[in-house]
Amino acid sequence: MALVGFDVVVDEPLEDGREFGGTASGEILRGAYRRIVGTAHFAVDPFHAANARIVDLELAPTDDLGRVRFSADVSIATPADPALASGRLLTEVPNRGNTLIAGSFHRVPVLSPADRWRAGDGWLYDRGHTICSVGWQWDVTGDGLGLQAPEALTPAGERIHGEVIKEFRPDQATDRMQLLQLGQADVSYPVVSSSPARLIVRDYEDGPIAEISRNSWFLADAAGDKTRLLDHDHLPSGFIPGRVYQFIYETVGAPVVGVGMLAVRDLTTAIGCGDDASPVSAEFAYRYGFGVSQTGRFLRHFLYDGMNVDEKGRKAFDGLLVHIAGGQRGDFNHRHAQPTVASVPSFGQTFPFAGSATRDPFSGKTEGLFDRSAESLPRVFMTNTSWEYWRGDASLIHTAPDGAADIGEHPNVRTWLIAGTHHIGGLLIRGRQIKGLAGGLQTDVGLNVVQSAPVLRSALHNLDAWVSADVDPPSSRHPRLADGTAVTRAEVLARFAALPVPMPDPAKLPVVRQMDLGPDAAVGIGRFPAVEGKAYPSFVCDVDDDYNERAGIRLPDLTVPVGTHTGWVPRAKSIGGSDLAAIFAGFTLFFARTREEREAQGDPRRAITERYDSRDVYQSEVRSATERLVSERFILAEDVAWVVVNCMDRYDAAMADPE
């Protein structure tokens, strides 16, 4: 068994019955969509081979038939007339409970929670695809799509105690920090306050650990005891901006975190195969999965644990689009895992990194990310921005972990670097760059403005053609050691010394390290903080004379540039740690407008008016560059105008009078 029931809460026309699709003789080809919101109920055999990798599943309570039960929040958009459906099911794995379809595929600027449900230009709906977003994360808070996971118990029926680590990176001086991780409104694991706890600090992510005396801090309660706070007592400085703090404590209660993978797998097979409990009546020939950042890492973990076949032997996904995951997995399937965690060294940052088998230079072990999924491996697109390379891990998906050579291409994978882009997507606000976002990301240089979304639409289109019609997709595009486009971060930063921009300290950039998670790590129980050893080599893309990346998919922003676009930027001086790289972000530094400005600034890069005689000339060059990308199948023909408009917005921003 798997999906055993579905409670429908909402079944309504999508966007008041708006009709999608092209026309033939005035007749709508696709028509209206339904939006279905509800709760999916699952029952799984804890001892079935298909579920064997789920940590602690055998310790969860069972029903009268010996099955473990759990449920998940689900949102579905599907053609109102099943006869008009395309036969494609796209299962989205929501990021911290938030669906990202609108911003990723429908050209919706997501500036508020309501924007996540807008249809925008309806690109997926015009094609008749069914979109299913399924909650998989047990610690989602607020209105996001979540998972109601079972709790593992000891053989005596008692709750399980264990160790949890929380990380904080304050952006301002403060005497207290909430025990919350990215995207959380409530604490995921309670503190057993009667037990010992530790507070440690580092000057940067991989810096030496210093223990803070237990007499210097205490736990305080707030908000009706729903939130636990760390409070400094005797340290006059309190929590110092820019430093990295980690709090290790005992908790009680062990949700079976890994059932989130079963929820994604089993809802996909139930809908895709037309099971009786499915809330959708359409038939599906092809099933795809999509994840972004946290949930891209989830899909890598899904394949690593061999979860693409359900209890009935059915394959869940024919194709996966894994976006901005780099070379990591995540806190998705171990005891006391915290899926929302973004950077704490844990199980998700361990070898292997590449799909093909490689040899770990530290342990001597030979393994590949896809080993357990070899018989059911879908076709996979892995798309990354420059930031995942500068984070220190993305190059590991195509470079040997000893740094000696490139890895041969896996036949089921295409790997694309979208050059000169960053993790959070390019953005102009009223035609201007911004230097900060809500949540603490502040920089002293304007954030990167290049939009990668058009490449995502092309990637999904190519993936569908690869799966459904066996059309070989465009080749992988990423930096390589063999042609000199893959270089160290220190080499690139040395070149940037000629530009008037702040730079991070190369020695303090994040890396992935050999890791010891304790004697029980093999069964999914970690010891924290992890004992870190030697670093795996990290490579990024070399840059050209404009300081733009030379390899990968180079949008017209890079081939017909009005500025330099990076996947790295230091934190602002005002938030501390100004020699550290900011999380998620890169910068755009526009060229000087004229030769006179360039000479006055001492800028080695040619000015805009030295490159292009007029705005019209620039637009013509951008269109030609975009059409070349169409011929290479990295941009869809229907998106040429979109890419051109994006570039013209950047041109106008570069030529505008500075504030």
| Residue ranges of E strands in 45-156 | 68-79, 88-92, 130-134, 147-148, 151-152
Say whether pLDDT at 516 is over 60.
yes
Say whether pLDDT at 293 is over 60.
yes
Phi-psi region of 96 (alpha: psi -120 to 50; beta: other; left: phi over 0): left
CB count within 10 Å of CB 299 equals 29
Q: How far apart are CA 359 and CA 396, in angstroms?
A: 12
Say whether pLDDT at 15 is over 70.
yes
Q: How far apart are CA 560 and CA 592, in angstroms?
A: 15
Q: How far apart are CA 651 and CA 659, in angstroms?
A: 16
**pLDDT band at residue 316 under the 50/70/90 scheme:** very high
Cis peptide before 529 (omega within 30 of 0): yes
Q: What is the residue-averaged pLDDT of the chain?
A: 93
Buried b (16+ CB within 10 A) or exposed e, 128-149: bbbbbbbbbbbbbbeebbbbbb
Give me the phi and psi of 481, to 5 degrees please: -65, -35
Q: Among residues 447, 395, 392, 460, which one has the least CA distance to residue 421?
A: 447
CB count within 10 Å of CB 120 equals 18
| Ranges of H-type helices in 375-415 | 386-390
Cis peptide before 190 (omega within 30 of 0): no
C-alpha Rg value of the chain to the nearest Å: 25
381's enclosing H/E stretch is strand 379-385
**pLDDT band at residue 112 under the 50/70/90 scheme:** confident
pLDDT at position 439, please? Answer: 60
Domain positions in the chain are 3-149+256-342, 161-252, 401-505+542-659
268's enclosing H/E stretch is helix 259-272
pLDDT at position 219, please? Answer: 80
Q: Which residues pair with 134 in a beta bridge?
A: 74
Work out the end-to-end distance of the chain between its first and last CA atoms, rounded to an integer number of angstroms.
62
Q: pLDDT for 439-486, tens place per residue?
A: 668 999 999 999 999 999 999 999 999 999 999 999 999 999 999 999
Whether domain 3-149+256-342 has CATH 3.40.50: yes
Q: How far apart are CA 14 and CA 77, in angstroms?
A: 8
pLDDT at position 127, please? Answer: 94
Please report, as a single letter, which amino acid is at residue 47. F
Provide mean pLDDT across the span 226-250. 73
pLDDT at position 343, please? Answer: 82
Q: Among residues 288, 237, 226, which one has the least CA distance to residue 90?
A: 288
pLDDT at position 225, please? Answer: 39
Q: Which residues pair with 381 in a beta bridge?
A: 321, 414
Please report, as a single letter, which amino acid is at residue 225. D
Provide mean pLDDT across the span 271-292. 95
Provide mean pLDDT across the span 508-532. 96
Helix (H, G, I), strand (E, B) or coil at 129: coil
User: Helix/strand/coil (H, E, C) string of 230-257?
Assistant: EEECCCCCCECCCCEEEEEEEEECEECC
302's enclosing H/E stretch is helix 294-304
Please report, as a single letter, which amino acid is at residue 318. D
Q: Which residues pair with 98 in a beta bridge?
A: 95
Tokens of 177: 């920090």
Provide mean pLDDT across the span 126-135. 97
Identify whether the C-beta of residue 249 lies closer than 8 Å to the C-beta of residue 197: yes
CA angle 278, 139, 251 (to 5 degrees): 135
Identify whether the C-beta of residue 153 lies closer than 8 Å to the C-beta of residue 159: yes
pLDDT at position 228, please? Answer: 45
CA angle 547, 548, 550 (to 5 degrees): 115
Q: Which long-range contacts (CB under 8 A, 24 or more apart) does 495-502 make?
A: 495/543, 495/547, 496/547, 498/604, 499/547, 499/564, 499/589, 499/603, 499/604, 499/605, 500/601, 500/602, 500/603, 501/445, 501/587, 501/589, 502/444, 502/445, 502/570, 502/578
Which class for 343: exposed (0-12), middle (13-18), buried (19 or more C-beta within 10 A)?
A: middle
Q: How far apart are CA 213 and CA 215, in angstroms?
A: 5
Helix (H, G, I), strand (E, B) or coil at 194: coil
Least confident residue range of 22-31, 237-246, 418-427, 437-446: 22-31
Identify whether the C-beta of residue 55 lies closer than 8 Å to the C-beta of residue 254: no
Helix (H, G, I), strand (E, B) or coil at 354: coil
Please report, as a single letter, which amino acid is at residue 123. W
pLDDT at position 379, please? Answer: 98
Q: How far apart are CA 57 and CA 80, in angstroms?
A: 38
DSSP string, 520-589: TGGGT---SS-EEEEEPP--EE-B-TTS-BSSSB--HHHHS-SEEE-S--BPPGGGS-TTSBPTT--BEE
Provide mean pLDDT across the span 123-145. 94
Say whether pLDDT at 223 is over 50.
no
Tokens of 518: 């304790």
Q: pLDDT for 370-407, tens place per residue?
A: 999 999 999 999 999 999 999 999 999 999 999 999 99
User: Quick one: angle between helices 640-655 and 615-631, nearest 10?
Assistant: 150
Q: Which residues pair with 513 in a beta bridge?
A: 535
Q: pLDDT for 485-502, tens place per residue?
A: 999 999 999 999 999 999
Question: Given CA atoms 95, 277, 461, 400 in this order, what sign does their dihedral have?
Answer: positive
